[in-house]
Structure formats: C-alpha cells, structure tokens
Amino acid sequence: MTDNTNSSAPAPAFPGGTILGYPRIGRMRELKRALESFWKGNSTQDELEATAKALRAENRDRLAALGLGKTDSSIPSNFSFYDHVLDAAVTFGAVPERFADLRAADGSVDLAGYSTIARGQGDKAPLEMTKWFDSNYHYLVPEIGPDTTFALSSNRWVEEFIEAKEAGFLTRPVITGPLTFLYLSKAADEAPEGYQPIDRLDDVLAVYVELLAAFKAAGAEWIQIDEPVLVADIDADRADVLANTTKVYNALVSAESRPALFVAAPYNSLDDALPVLKDTGVDAIGIDLVRGSVPSGVDLSGVTIAAGVVDGHNIWRTNLDEALAKADQVADLGATVTIASSTSLFHVPHTLQGEEHLGEELLSWLAFADEKVAEIVTLDTAFTQGEQAVAGALGEARAALQARAEHPGTNRAEVREALSGIEAQAFERSDYSIRAAAQDARFNLPELATTTIGSFPQTPEIRKARAAWAKGELSDAEYEQAMKDEIASVVKLQEDLGLDVLVHGEAERNDMVQYFAELLEGFDVTKNGWVQSYGSRCTRPSILWGDVARAEAMTVEWASYAQTLSDKPVKGMLTGPVTILAWSFVRDDQPLADTANQVGLALRGEIADLEAAGIGIIQVDEPALRELLPLKKADQPAYLDWSVKSFRLATSGAKDDTQIHTHLCYSEFGEVIDAIDGLNADVTSIEAARSRMEVLPAIKDHGYERQVGPGVWDIHSPRVPSTEEVTELLQLAKDSIPGKQLWVNPDCGLKTRGYDETNASLKNMLAATKAVRSA
Ligand code: GLN
Ligand code: ZN
C-alpha cells in the first residue's frame, strides 16, 4: 500500500448507508420544464438557476428525511443541468474549438453556452451522444485533442457543495473520474492517427489535483469519484488500463490537500482492478454486488468497501436477507463494509407515491429511488445493530418477496408449457434462397425498393387526440376514427410520393415499447415513473413483472385497415423482444433469456395473425440489440445467443413468402454483425447516413447475402438532404452491395420530424433512387 503520509489526518469514517447518486430531474420533472422554458427564451438564466437550487434543496431535505445523515457525507451531491460527463468536460475546460467563442475570459461557459455544447446551434454540431454503459441513459462524448487545454474552468461543483453546507448539510460531491472521463472521450477531429484521449492523462490529473484542493478548502470531507469504466471491457489494453489506474490513484492519494477519496465502480465487477485500486490506498471503494459479484480471493483487510447491494438500475424490492449476506461475505474478506446502492439511483424513478393505481400487491414488490433509500437505511441498521433492530422491516420484505414468487401471474402454467413445448425447428425458416424466390414472386419489387422505418410525424393533433381519449373526452370510436383518418392521410402521402412498401405510420403508438406493454399481459405502466434518458428527455419504462402473454391481436386492425387503402404492400410493425426488455423494467426473478422468449412467443402469435390478415411484409424492430450487450466480453456470446434466439422465435413461424424486416438504430455494427446475420431477417435497415455508409464495407466483407437498407437520410435533425446528397450515398452503397440486395430508406422512424421536412426529404430520396436506378 502506498504510504499516505501527505494527507495530514486519517480519513473521517465513511458514512454508514449511502447511495451513489439520486435522480436529477425532479419528482415532477421540474428540471425538464425549467430547461425547456430557458431554451425557448421564456425564462432567464437566473430563473433556471433558482429552479435548480430549489430542486437540490428539496432532494437534500428528502434524503435526510428518509434517514441519510445530514452531516456525515452520506448525501451525494450529483446534480447536473444536462449530463455529468459534459459537466466534467466544462469543469476541466475541455471545450472543443468550435465552441471557443462561448467561453468567458476565465474559461467558464454560462448556461446558454453549456446548452449549445449539448444541443448544437446553427453550424455548431453538438457533442455526440452515446449510451452510458449498459443503460438507456445517454452521455455527451467529450472531444479531446493533443491541443486541448485543461484548466479548472468552473466553480459550479464546489459552489454546490458550499450551497449545501450553508443549508446545514455536509454532502459528498460526486464527480466523473479521470479514467472514465478520458476513456469515454473521443479524439478530436484534428488529432493525428493513433492519438488517444488517454494520452492526456497527466494534464488532466493536474486539474483533478487542483479540484480536490478546492473541495478540501470548501470543507468537503469525502468526495466520490466515479470510475465505471474499470468494470467494462473497453477498446484498450487491460494492462494499460490497470497501469493507469495505479498512476491516477497514487497521484490523487498523495495530493497535498484533498478530501477522503471514495472511488465508485458501478455496473459490474471490478475484477482485477479491485486489488490494483486497493493498493493505491484510496479511502473507500464502491463495488456493485447486484450486476457484479462478491470478489473472491482478494484480501480486503484495511479497506473500506461500500457494498452496492441495493439495485440502482432496476425497481424491484430488495431481498434484504440476500443483501445482508453479500455484505457479510465482503466483511469476511477483511473489509470495513457499509451498505450502498449498486449504482446511482438516477436510473429509476423518484417515488412510488402516486402510483397507487398499480395495486397494493405489485406496489409491495417495488422500490423506486426513495424506497431504495429507506431499504439502505434499514440494511445499515441491521448490519450495524443486528437484525433484531429492524425485525419488522425484514419480515415485511420477506413476506412481499414470497407473495411475488407465489403470485399466479409470475408463473403461468399455460405460458410455461407453451414455451417448453417449442422445438428446435421453431427457430428456423426455409433457406433464404427459397424465401427470396417466394417473396420476389409475391411482391415483385423493383431494385432499390423504397420504404420508411415505420413512424410518421406524431403531430400535436395526434397527441391531443390521445390525451383526450385518455381523459375520457374522446370515445373509443372517436379515437379510433381519428387514428384511421391519420392512417389514411399517411397512406395517401406515401402513394403520392411513390414509395414501394408503405407503412401505416404508427400514429396510435405513444411509444414503441409502451404500446405493446399496455396490450400484453404481464406488464404494467406507471403514471409518473420518469427516468432521464438524456438532457431534458425522459422515458417512462413499463414494468414487466409477470409471465408474458398476448390476450388478443395488437396491431392487426391498424395494419389491415392501411392495407385496404392501397394495392402496394403495407408493412406490419412490431417491436422485438430485446428492445421490449431493454426499455422496460424487467423482472429479476428469472433469466432475461426466459423473459425474452415469452415476449418472442407472443410476437410470433401476432405475426401469424398479421399474415392471416393478408399482411405480407412484417418488420420487427430491434434498435436496442446493441444496448444490452454485456460490459464484459466473456458475457457477450451468451447474450447474443439468447437475444438472437428470441428474435428468431418471434419471426421464424413466418411463411416463406412473408418478408421479415428488422431495423437497428445505430451504426457501431462491426461488433454485433454476426448476431445481425443470426437474426436471419430478409431485410435489415440500419443507420448509415451520418457516418456516410461507413458500415457497408463491414457488411460486404462479412459476405452478407440478404437484403439491407442503409439509411440515406439522417432523421435526427430537421435538415433536408438534397437529391444529390442522397444520390451520392446510394451510389456509395451500390459500390459495396449489389443493387438487388439494397433498399432505400431513412435512418430511423419519422415520429420526431415535422411534415414539411418529411415531405421534402422523402421526395428527394425518391428522386435520388430514380436517378441511381437508371444510371
Ligand atoms: N418503427 C419505429 C419507428 O419508425 C422504429 C423506431 C426505432 O428504431 N427506435 O419509429
Ligand atoms: Zn431506428
């Protein structure tokens, strides 16, 4: 262990019972509203600051009321206006050149500038956004080049600490660690070949040292440094990652003036990084014992461990006995243990209060953020004072868990029997060549067939109709008519434009997962269970609590109505099993694979019903296939195996002349290309416009024999691509893939677009197709 002589006093005791972070958006999404109003120019920076300040105060008060200590550093301060990785970049002054004019003389940016970096403005593209580990949260990717200057450029973090202190709270500031910050950054455009952001480690470290001193001077006793990157197999040599871990934490531990250092590593096991971190002498280490496991064979004597035994990533009530047993196991390795959440709680909604409609039974199986804090307090009491001190709470938790296990809905004989009766051939279709011939004969589509990904703009009128229907102001029949009118207009538009394969437009879907969750058995939906997806954007994941079954057809009526309006094929539209799981809170009492297969089987029934209604082309979207990819390489093959199987279970009952499409929303294709091949879809549409068809050579090299639709229009912005631009992309695509195998489509669904740009862009897309067909 490093001799820690530089810090004058021994570390203060680590707080008993803590959480790694708390939702930032507010119970009533106050921050979302305040941000959006600020962006629209309806409120000032001061008003936005005031809302944020009130929110921070409210959160602190609530956490104290729930039992976290007010003055022992157990309340984390992890507020962010938009994203915590962006906060780190702005604090360290790592702002890309194109935003240089947003910086004040001291290097700081105000909230307008901060928003511009996050969201872009005019010709200033925002920072890229990507998924945060294996969650549905998106962070902003810092751009770090050889010339990026690092300097402490914002006092915000320290000021927030002082703000809490003045209100009588000694909080624990939470910051993104140097390793996570640099490994998640991308090289700035101008960086030379071979350069990596991590090359700048020494420069960044200097700023962290300065920051630690500032926190210490402000009176912080503990600081939490998040290093989730240490649990993931990333695109870097592990030996280098570990060497850098030693370097960083040796340096921070021996910093002249600093609070006690708590390094948190959520989302999986630290594995070989645990002993490395321990040897640096950091004052406490947070480990995830929900996704990760209890370390084995590590001597943890003298180490303080925050045992993450309460799931920060899912909403189920904790098995308190199991949690205590895990904490005991860690203590047996010699560690001084405190109870903690496995991750920040920002992945779960604020509170179960207001969700009474879920029913007492389901409610008693759940714990959102506030209920998890209460669990941690209970566990901490049990751990430090003995179980008898909280016997009542432990008994209540046991009873709820037992009721959940015994509930008929979590174990339905007919669902289980249907699944166990499935044979290997249920996962297979005829050879592709046979299917292709049957489909060609049936649809006789031209080369470079044109289509869209499914949704058309969700107009304010559609949303209004749905809201009125939910309130009972619109009858079922009136709502149905409103949706049918919308479908008719979308079909007419596509016919006028001359698309080859039409869609019904998904007007009736509030959300591509929730729509199905509301119709399938085994799910429930919350009223106010919002979680931050990125910035001000929140999603309301459904709760998949029981065995899944389909009571009745879910999409047939809409699709077949659309089909009556056109002689062209209308594509049926379903969301795939993996995506339904990824964007819901999924039961944790059985393997994900089993749950995925239950969903797969339900979708298989839906596909049969669509076929029976005459729908011959059916798309099963799996935009989340990449998102659930495990963080550890060793776990990936098993995941890819079950995820592909669930898709095949859903789709392989289709007849030879039914054309199965799938859609995937991202372009990092290389790593999952075998899985995509394994899906065995007849047609796969993917995102490709922004990367200028970068993925195609990989597909070509893979020897992909089925059809692909690389997106030719980046639908993430209102920009209309010109005919020339689309022509060029199509030509590029044709260089890699024979025209016979190519489809023409946008990158993704159009639900977030307006009709003006949709019309103009589709028109250009069709003109380009014409040009390339006749070239
Ligand atoms: N069919 C969906 C749509 O068009 C697909 C959305 C997605 O890939 N996220 O909206
Ligand atoms: Zn998509």
The radius of gyration computed from the CA coordinates of the chain, to the nearest angstrom, equals 27
Task: Ligand 1, residue 665: give the atom nearest the CA.
Answer: 8
pLDDT score, position 667:
62
Q: Which 3 state secondary structure label does DSSP give 237?
A: coil
DSSP labels for 79-135? --SS-HHHHHHHHTT---GGGGGGB-TTS-B-HHHHHHHHH-BTTBPPPPEEE-TTS
- Between CA 39 and CA 630 the distance in angstroms is 36
Helix or strand run (H / E) with residue 225: strand 222-226
Answer whether 736's CB lies under 8 Å from 694's CB.
no
Phi and psi for 272 in degrees, rounded to 5?
-65, -10
The Å distance, Cα 211 to ligand 2 centre, comes to 40
Residues in Cβ contact with 110 at an 8 Å cutoff, skipping those fewer than 6 apart: 45, 102, 104
Task: Ligand 1, residue 749: give the atom nearest the CA.
Answer: 4
Please report, for residues 141, 152, 281, the alpha-carbon distance to residue 205 in angstroms, rounded to integers and kept in the order given.
19, 11, 17
Q: Which 3 state secondary structure label does DSSP give 353?
A: coil
| Half-sphere exposure of residue 92: CA atoms within 13 angstroms, side-chain side | 29
- Between CA 77 and CA 160 the distance in angstroms is 8
Q: Which residues pair with 683 in a beta bridge?
A: 661, 707
Please report, for residues 318, 341, 365, 691, the alpha-carbon distance to residue 309 in angstroms, rounded to integers and kept in the order given.
8, 6, 17, 41
Residues in Cβ contact with 632 at an 8 Å cutoff, skipping those fewer than 6 apart: 231, 232, 233, 268, 269
Pocket of ligand 1 (CB under 6 A): 453-455, 506, 512, 573, 621, 623, 663, 665, 748-749, 751
Structure token pair of residue 652: 């392989």
Burial 525-535 (b: 16+ CB within 10 A, else e): bbebbbbbbbb
Q: Which ligand has its closest atom nearest to the C-alpha of 714?
A: 2
Q: Which 3 state secondary structure label does DSSP give 534?
A: strand
- Site to probe by mutation for ligand 1, drawn from 501, 512, 753 as the one with most ligand atoms within 8 Å of Cβ, is 512
Show the CA angle centred on residue 572, arms to residues 566 and 641, nearest 5°: 155
Answer whether 468's CB lies under 8 Å from 542's CB.
no
- Between CA 244 and CA 417 the distance in angstroms is 52
Helix or strand run (H / E) with residue 543: strand 542-550
Q: Which 3 state secondary structure label does DSSP give 254?
A: coil
pLDDT score, position 9:
65
Structure token pair of residue 50: 């005031």
- Between CA 73 and CA 96 the distance in angstroms is 34
- Between CA 510 and CA 516 the distance in angstroms is 10
pLDDT score, position 598:
98
Taken as a whole, the chain contains a residue count of: 775
Give residue-wise pLDDT tens across range 650-665: 999 999 999 999 999 8
Answer whether 517's CB lies under 8 Å from 550's CB.
no
Q: Which of 138, 350, 661, 716 is the catalytic position?
A: 716
DSSP labels for 392-450? HHHHHHHHHHHHHHH-GGGS-HHHHHHHHT--GGGG--S-HHHHHHHHHHHH-PPSSEE
Structure token pair of residue 588: 């944790």
3-state secondary structure 328-345: HHHHHCCCEEEEEECCCH
Task: Fill in the amino acid letter for 372.
Answer: K
Residues in Cβ contact with 759 at an 8 Å cutoff, skipping those fewer than 6 apart: 493, 497
Torsional class of 100: left (φ above 0), alpha (ψ -120 to 50), beta (otherwise) = alpha
- Site to probe by mutation for ligand 1, drawn from 131, 453, 622 as the one with most ligand atoms within 8 Å of Cβ, is 453
Low-confidence ranges of the chain (pLDDT < 50): 1-7
Residue with the smallest CA separation from ligand 1 atom 10 is 749
- Between CA 773 and CA 449 the distance in angstroms is 10
pLDDT score, position 665:
83
- Between CA 199 and CA 147 the distance in angstroms is 11
Please name the residue that has the structure tokens 């109003």.
37
Q: Which ligand has its closest atom nearest to the C-alpha of 509?
A: 1
Task: Fill in the amino acid letter for 546.
Answer: G
Q: pTM for the complete prediction?
A: 0.94
Answer whether 377's CB lies under 8 Å from 15's CB.
no
pLDDT score, position 3:
42
Q: Which 3 state secondary structure label does DSSP give 176?
A: strand
Give residue-wise pLDDT tens across range 494-531: 999 999 999 999 999 989 999 999 999 999 999 999 99
Spacing of C-alpha 41 from chain mean position? 29
The Å distance, Cα 320 to ligand 1 centre, comes to 39
Annotated catalytic residue 716: yes
Task: Ligand 1, residue 454: give the atom nearest the CA.
Answer: 4
Helix or strand run (H / E) with residue 523: strand 520-524
Q: Which ligand has its closest atom nearest to the C-alpha of 451?
A: 1
Answer whether 685's CB lies under 8 Å from 661's CB.
yes
The Å distance, Cα 747 to ligand 1 centre, comes to 9
